[in-house]
Amino acid sequence: MDQVGMGNAEHQGALAKGEVLPRPASSQSEGFKQGRSVLNSLLSGAFAGAVAKTAVEAYKLIYRTYLKDGFFSLWRGNSATMVRVIPYAAIQFCAHEQYKRILGQYYGFQGKALPPVPRLLAGSLAGTTAALITYPLDMVRARMAVTPKEMYSNILHVFVRISREEGLQTLYRGFTPTILGVVPYAGLSFFTYETLKKLHAERTGRSHPYSYERLVFGACAGLIGQSASYPLDVVRRRMQTAGVTGHTYGSISGTMREIVAEEGVIRGLYKGLSMNWVKGPIAVGISFMTFDLMQILLRKLQQLGYNAR
């Protein structure tokens, strides 16, 4: 028997004895890298959300609240806000990285900037994923923000009372307008940010923008995304707080009609937009910038760890 035949016989004999072939090292390494990438995105997104929310304060609102309810009332609902913002940002940024990877493989743009439509789709899917998972926390935050402090003592108390008095389904009241608003908001925000970074790289030859450039790109993304989705955001907030404000909003169209009838189009559906044009883009800019810088920092730390081995 020749050498090839002997080799095949030995191979078959080994398999017949129940031996398991080792998994290729490259496959193990790829799986490890993918898991590490997900963890990095989650950590970076969580940190970005926390920093953005903490950094943006509306001084007039703070001053009025301080005069009316006292110093500690400034933090009423803040714990619920942070409990929602941190997981939301972590999930959204992590999901966006994964959707970019999946769509990049599908369209043949792995490791490169996606074409416009997949770029928009990746952002919309990321926002939808984050909203689906964290929506009950958003409901809790909305309730704590509009009710007297005697009504709810803490986050858990809100969950218990809503579940007991209004039913578990109430935790997802207003979810449909939320998703309808998240799709254009997240889609346009990520699309704008990624597009500006792509154009910047093409014109300057620098693949990594400076920190202030990332901040500006993010602010532009937040401005465009927020303006496009704001009316649906108003509808979402009205439906979330209907149980404590005395209204009986039943549907998106019905809520919109009632708001327009009572307050008008501009004062109703775009109420508070000018204030959000100030703080919203700043928060989004900080969030995008922080996420990118955290990603870069974590990669450098991991590289240093490998080099030290």
Q: Write out pLDDT tens, residues 242-270.
A: 766 666 676 788 888 888 888 888 888 88
Confidence at 23, pLDDT banded by 50, 70, 90: very low
* pLDDT value, residue 212: 93
Question: What are 201's two structure tokens?
Answer: 């790289």
Say if residue 60's pLDDT is above 50. no
Question: What are 121's two structure tokens?
Answer: 């789709």
Say if residue 75's pLDDT is above 80. no
* pLDDT value, residue 121: 96
Confidence at 195, pLDDT banded by 50, 70, 90: very high
Confidence at 289, pLDDT banded by 50, 70, 90: very high
* pLDDT value, residue 290: 92
Q: Which residue has the higher pLDDT, 81 or 149?
A: 149
Confidence at 34, pLDDT banded by 50, 70, 90: confident
Confidence at 170, pLDDT banded by 50, 70, 90: confident
- The conformational region for residue 167 under phi > 0 = left, psi -120 to 50 = alpha, else beta, is left
* pLDDT value, residue 148: 75
Q: What is the mean pLDDT of the chain?
A: 79
| Most confident region among 178-187, 212-221, 223-232, 260-269 by mean pLDDT | 212-221
- Do residues 148 and 69 touch, judged by C-beta distance below 8 A? no
Say if residue 146's pLDDT is above 80. no
pTM higher than 0.75: no
Say if residue 294's pLDDT is above 80. yes
* pLDDT value, residue 101: 92
pLDDT for 204-213, tens place per residue? 999 899 999 9
Say if residue 2's pLDDT is above 60. no
Domain segments of the chain as ranges? 173-271
* pLDDT value, residue 11: 44
Q: What is the average per-residue pLDDT within 46-61?
A: 68
Ranking 52-56, 179-183, 186-190 by mean pLDDT, the lowest is 52-56
Task: Encode 142-180: b = buried (16+ Cβ within 10 Å), e = exposed.
Answer: bbbeebeeeebeebeebbeebeeeeeeebbebbbebbbb
Backbone phi, psi, residue 77, to 5°: 85, -5
Report angle CA 161, 164, 166 to the nearest 5 degrees: 90
- Do residues 52 and 287 touch, judged by C-beta distance below 8 A? yes
pLDDT for 85-98, tens place per residue? 888 999 999 999 99
Q: What percent of the chain has pLDDT over 70?
A: 77
Say if residue 128's pLDDT is above 80. yes
